[in-house]
């Protein structure tokens, strides 16, 4: 077999391309399912005014101006999430029902691209790993994030939920890269100048990086409270690290982003609308002490529950890449890897901190869209911990993995083929059937997605033709789990019905019978 005749580097590259191919293969059904997707619930609440502006003007600038007005209104009346409200006012179906297909595609692109970008920058640009393995590991992490997230409907297909949480998790990863990048690669005028001082730095490039990072930090602070809060702590941690270890570009470069993050956080948390919304949960919110206790318990419980076979296999696949890369860093003394316990403690504390805002404000850990973000973080931090522990072991033992793959490779070509096929079959049985990609494939193949799409399109056409009238719809006959969130109710004065009526300029709207998932 030709694979046995390939060089060691060629085999490694083939393995990396295989990881990327598998990730894209499982992603494809989720992208295709997006074309059967339709808006629901709060999608109408945030965007009905922007849609009316688009229908009357067909001006992108007028729609953007209305999105700003929507953000200001929500800041005063319901939530301080100024960035989220602006984005959610622009949900795709305001430009036509079929445009909502881009909601899921956009969210998937943001989540996967930000994860791959984060892995590429941190591993390749900062730590010196080869580019292809760095990208492949990014695809591996994104595969685990996307395919086994707790709630794919709220994390990908419902734009109002995914745009408020999954999108801002992507922004958090990009901000992590920006905050790190501002302290490195600033093109000193003198190649011999110390990279830990500001002397001889390219001030123009340095200032541009600082300003862009500050803008990104301010945008993140206007998103959901969880990523906003964690984003502030992250920028603060990077700035403190730069100060403590006397890396002045890293410290000085993150002062303005830290100020922007803090200002945005105050603007968010202290908004009049935040007070209005919090008053709705005044009786269910927790004290500071109970928040810490419950957040800690749920952080550990979720980490335990989500440490599954797919994550274990992902860590196993990443091990040789991490170990060899970490050993090279340890041998060159670029990294010491001397604080593994601190890294593990901080990694375990991170998801616990993410639970604090919802427990303090609402008394529970939050809905699926919030848990998705916690899950993404746990997956990412599991790989970070593995890398650091690999470095700790390599720096203490000096054990090399060179040649081990060749020694473990079956000498018989037939046994090699059998081993590969058995591994793929086992992966599919253990993990593949439980992926959201496989669920999306079945939803399309059995016709449920097509039926739901046809019924939702029929509703849209009826509503467009019934402006100013009272409209009564039949409930959907099918409820695809990845696409369906919540329907209208049988009472025309319920909030989803009111906002749907405003969206389509109807006099009123209701269902003829209760729909699945209506909890009011």
What single DSSP character describes residue 247?
Answer: -
pLDDT value at position 501?
93
Q: Is 364 left (phi over 0), alpha (psi -120 to 50) or beta?
A: beta
Span between the terminal Cα atoms of the chain, in Å: 63
**Angstrom distances, CA of residue 221 to CA of 79, 233, 284:** 13, 11, 25
Helix (H) or strand (E) holding 472: strand 470-473
Compute, in degrees rounded to 10, the torsion defined by CA atoms 511, 513, 514, 520.
60
Given a contact cutoff of 8 angstroms between Cβ atoms, the answer to whether 163 and 91 are in contact is: yes
Residues of the chain with pLDDT below 50 are 519-520
Which pLDDT score is estimated for 519?
44
C-alpha 12, offset from chain centre: 28
In this prediction, residue 364 carries a pLDDT of 67
Tokens of 55: 């229908």
Estimate to the nearest angstrom the gap between the alpha carbon of 279 and the chain centroid. Answer: 29
pLDDT at 162: 95
Give the start-to-end residue ranges of the domains of the chain: 446-520
How far is residue 248 from each of residues 127, 199, 244, measured CA to CA in Å?
19, 10, 9
Q: Where are the alpha helices (DSSP H) in 120-224?
A: 131-147, 152, 159-164, 166-181, 203-221
- Tokens describing residue 210: 């600082």
Residue 35 half-sphere exposure toward CB, CA atoms < 13 A: 7
Q: What is the pLDDT of residue 384?
A: 94
Average pLDDT, the chain: 87
Element (H, E) at 473: strand 470-473
pTM for the model stands at 0.91
Q: What is the pLDDT of residue 520?
A: 37
């Amino acid at each position: 077999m030709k694979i046995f005749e390939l060089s060691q580097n060629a085999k490694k590259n083939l393995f990396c391309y295989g990881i990327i191919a598998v990730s894209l293969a499982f992603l494809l059904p989720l992208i295709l399912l997006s074309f059967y997707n339709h808006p629901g619930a709060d999608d109408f609440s945030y965007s009905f005014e922007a849609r009316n502006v688009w229908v009357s003007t067909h001006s992108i600038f007028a729609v953007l101006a209305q999105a700003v007005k929507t953000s200001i209104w929500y800041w005063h009346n319901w939530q301080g999430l100024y960035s989220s409200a602006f984005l959610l006012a622009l949900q795709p179906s305001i430009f036509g029902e079929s445009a909502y297909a881009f909601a899921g595609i956009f969210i998937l692109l943001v989540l996967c691209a930000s994860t791959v970008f984060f892995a590429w920058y941190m591993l390749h640009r900062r730590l010196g790993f080869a580019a292809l393995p760095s990208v492949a590991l990014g695809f591996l992490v994104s595969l685990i994030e996307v395919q086994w997230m707790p709630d794919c409907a709220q994390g990908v297909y419902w734009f109002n939920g995914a745009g408020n949480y999954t999108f801002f998790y992507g922004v958090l990863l990009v901000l992590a890269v920006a905050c790190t990048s501002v302290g490195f690669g600033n093109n000193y005028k003198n190649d011999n100048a110390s990279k830990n001082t500001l002397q001889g730095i390219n001030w123009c490039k340095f200032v541009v990086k600082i300003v862009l990072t500050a803008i990104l930090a301010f945008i993140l602070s206007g998103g959901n409270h969880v990523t906003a809060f964690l984003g502030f702590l992250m920028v603060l941690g990077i700035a403190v690290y730069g100060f403590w270890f006397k890396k002045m570009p890293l410290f000085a470069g993150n002062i303005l982003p830290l100020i922007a993050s803090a200002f945005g956080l105050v603007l968010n948390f202290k908004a009049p609308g935040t007070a209005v919304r919090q008053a709705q949960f005044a009786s269910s919110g927790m004290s500071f002490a109970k928040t810490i206790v419950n957040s800690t318990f749920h952080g550990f419980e979720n980490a335990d529950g989500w440490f599954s076979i797919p994550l274990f296999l992902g860590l196993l696949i990443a091990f040789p890449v991490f170990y060899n890369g970490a050993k090279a860093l340890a041998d060159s003394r670029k990294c010491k890897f001397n604080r593994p316990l601190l890294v593990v403690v901080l990694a375990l504390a991170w998801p616990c901190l993410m639970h604090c805002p919802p427990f303090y404000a609402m008394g529970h850990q939050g809905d699926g869209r919030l848990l998705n973000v916690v899950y993404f973080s746990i997956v990412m931090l599991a790989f970070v911990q593995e890398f650091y522990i690999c470095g700790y072991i390599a720096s203490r033992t000096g054990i090399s993995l060179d040649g081990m793959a060749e020694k473990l490779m079956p000498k018989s070509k037939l046994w090699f083929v059998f081993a590969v096929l058995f591994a793929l079959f086992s992966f599919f049985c253990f993990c593949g059937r439980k992926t959201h990609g496989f669920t999306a494939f079945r939803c399309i193949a059995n016709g449920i997605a097509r039926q739901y799409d046809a019924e939702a399109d029929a509703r849209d056409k009826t509503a467009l033709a019934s402006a100013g009238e009272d409209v009564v719809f039949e409930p959907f006959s099918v409820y695809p789990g990845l696409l369906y969130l919540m329907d209208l109710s049988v009472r025309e004065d319920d909030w989803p019905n009111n906002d749907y009526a405003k969206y389509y300029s109807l006099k009123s709207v209701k269902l003829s019978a209760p729909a699945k998932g209506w909890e009011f």
